[in-house]
Amino acid sequence: MAIEPVRRDTLGKHSRRCPCRLRSGPANADCSDALADTDVIQNRNAMSRISTPITVITGFLGAGKTTLINRILAENHGERLAIIENEFGETGVDAEFLIAQHDETVIQLANGCVCCTVRGDLANALNQLAQQKSRNDISFDRVIIETTGMADPGPILQTFLAETAILSHYHLDGIVALVDAFHGDAQLAVHIENRAQVAYADRLLISKTDLVSESALAQLQAHLHQINPRAPILHLNIVDSRLGDVMQFMFDARAYAFDYIAPEDLKQLQTASLFSKPDGRFRPLKQRHTEGVVSTVFTSNHPLDLERLNGFIDAATERYGTNLWRCKGVVYAENHRMRLIVQGVQKLIQISGGTMWRPYQPKSTILVFIGQDLDPDWLAEGLTQCEADTAQVV
């Protein structure tokens, strides 16, 4: 059995009733519901500070995921990692590292890592690792999950956004996708799964760069940026690259934090995507269409009405469902002194409170949407109608 994330038949309903949705109203309103929402946000943020980060490694068949995992298992790098290996990987972890016993294997390695094969429920495997850690049977500070080459990361990501039991022990740090420099363009053209992996990624590693020309590499990089304008890219020689540099690039992305989006992420989106109009508004541009994959960025320096925004998100999840692969960004909301953080995968989209806007700091909304067959004009129009000084309501 392959890795199976926890699935909810009511994910769509859950997204509309998500406790992290904030309500509009005066910033100092004395409302028990609003206080309850704040408590949920504070609890989630506390979880992310004390829980174990998880990095998901995905990527094309033959891109080198298992080779990279084997290097992490073999070399001394000072990190105590628990690596969850999907047995349906291309070749599997080297036999010298794993000896199968019954349905699962957990083995402590000489370099301080823990390796685990999973043939069942992913959430159950994570909970078992947490229990073993609490009993001091094993020790680790970070988890890496390797998916199969043709896996859609979306359902796995939903597990971490929806399951409170998992969030009590872990938080999702980021998605790393490996792309084969030699076959990448061809694979992107043929396989929707590969395009989805790139779209979900928070970090992109291009492997086998020594097999292609500089012009071919630049073309592939431009192709990847068209699909996902927010993910930084690292060129990688899996055998010779310094493992410490690669791991530093992969880790501590904080890509799914409920209260934080890295300034460099916002800067990258702003640089890639926005322009101004005489009325002071910003509109999405460079709407990218690559084999049916659309990525578009909406920005506005006008506050958004939160009730309208909640209505728009409900409409977007109803319209696109699982085709809305990823949405992320910061919202400047009317009557809210804090910036609001949007994190979404497919039908599950959450809005949480972030840090306070500083008095001298320009306030603006920036939201990126990536998915299959999205309509950028529909998204732009709906979000424009969420602006607080707009009469129309979505």
Q: Give the 3-state secondary structure of residue 185.
A: helix
- Chain length of the chain: 394
The tokens for 285 are 């541009």
For domain 259-384, say whether CATH 3.40.50.450 is its number.
no
What sign has the CA pseudo-torsion 260, 244, 78, 70? positive
185 and 290 Cβ atoms separated by less than 8 Å: no
- Comparing 328 with 74, the larger pLDDT belongs to 328
Cα gap 83→67, rounded to integer Å: 13
Query: Which among 277, 52, 280 is positioned nearest to 171, based on CA atoms?
Result: 52
Residue reference for tokens 């979000």? 383
What pLDDT score does 163 carry? 73
Average pLDDT over residues 3-11: 32
Left (φ > 0), alpha (ψ -120 to 50) or beta: where does 335 sit? left
The tokens for 365 are 């909304």
What pLDDT score does 112 carry? 60
**Distance between alpha carbon 136 and the CA centroid of its chain, in Å?**
30
What pLDDT score does 127 carry? 86
The tokens for 94 are 């080297």
What value does the mean pLDDT of the chain take?
Answer: 76
Class of domain 51-250: alpha beta
Most confident of 44-48, 86-90, 321-325: 321-325
Per-residue pLDDT at 295 exceeds 50:
yes
Per-residue pLDDT at 270 exceeds 80:
no
What pLDDT score does 149 carry? 64
Render pLDDT for 210-230 as a digit per residue (tens, 0 to 9).
Answer: 999 999 999 999 999 888 888
Per-residue pLDDT at 105 exceeds 60:
no
Confidence band for 359, pLDDT divided at 50, 70 and 90? confident
Per-residue pLDDT at 88 exceeds 80:
no
Pairing of strands 81-86, 114-118: parallel
Per-residue pLDDT at 5 exceeds 60:
no
The tokens for 261 are 């989006």
Kindly list the domain boundaries of the chain, sorted by start residue.
Answer: 51-250, 259-384
What pLDDT score does 10 carry? 29
Render pLDDT for 133-182 as a digit per residue (tens, 0 to 9).
Answer: 899 888 889 999 888 766 778 878 887 777 777 888 999 999 999 999 99
CA atoms within 13 A on the CB side of 241: 23
The tokens for 102 are 């019954």
Most confident of 89-103, 111-125, 150-164, 232-246: 232-246
pTM of the model: 0.72
Per-residue pLDDT at 318 exceeds 90:
yes
Per-residue pLDDT at 273 exceeds 60:
no
Average pLDDT over residues 371-379: 92
DSSP string, 5-49: ----TTHHHHHHT-TT----S-TT---HHHHHHHHHHHHHHHHHH
Most confident of 86-90, 369-373, 388-392: 369-373
What pLDDT score does 306 carry? 94
For the ranges 59-68, 87-96, 138-147, the lowest mean pLDDT is seen at 87-96
Cα gap 289→287, rounded to integer Å: 7
89 and 68 Cβ atoms separated by less than 8 Å: no
What pLDDT score does 119 carry? 53
